[in-house]
């Protein structure tokens, strides 16, 4: 029971940190990078930001979730197709 409680605390802490990173850090940094690119129109600048933000969200949420589950619960084995749920 104690192991389950510790695992839940770790998961919720990681979740809160990912949300804060996605909301504040990644948005600010990507706005800065997009502004540096000096796009010809604001439409292209907005598209560039949205594309970068979508990729960043994917990498910080989907892949991190996969890695945390694989490492925490040993939910993987050496199979030609990789991580198996």
**Angle, helix 2-20 to helix 64-72, in steps of 10 degrees:** 160
| Mean pLDDT, range 39-63, rounded to an integer | 90
Q: Residue 74: pLDDT band by 50, 70, 90 thresholds?
A: low
> Is residue 60 within 8 Å of 22, Cβ to Cβ?
yes
If one compares 9 and 39, the residue with the highest pLDDT of the two is: 39
Token pair belonging to 1: 């029971």
Q: Residue 40: pLDDT band by 50, 70, 90 thresholds?
A: very high
Q: Does residue 78 carry a pLDDT above 60?
A: no
pLDDT at 80: 59
**Domain boundary assignment for the chain:** 2-72
If one compares 31 and 73, the residue with the highest pLDDT of the two is: 31
């Amino acid at each position: 029971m104690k192991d389950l409680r510790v695992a839940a605390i770790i998961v919720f802490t990681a979740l809160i940190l990912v949300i804060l990173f996605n909301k504040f850090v990644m948005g600010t940094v990507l706005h800065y990078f997009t502004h540096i690119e000096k796009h010809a129109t604001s439409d292209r600048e907005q598209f560039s930001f949205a594309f970068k933000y979508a990729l960043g969200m994917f990498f910080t949420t989907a892949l991190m979730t996969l890695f945390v589950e694989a490492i925490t619960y040993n939910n993987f084995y050496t199979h030609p197709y990789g991580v198996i749920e």
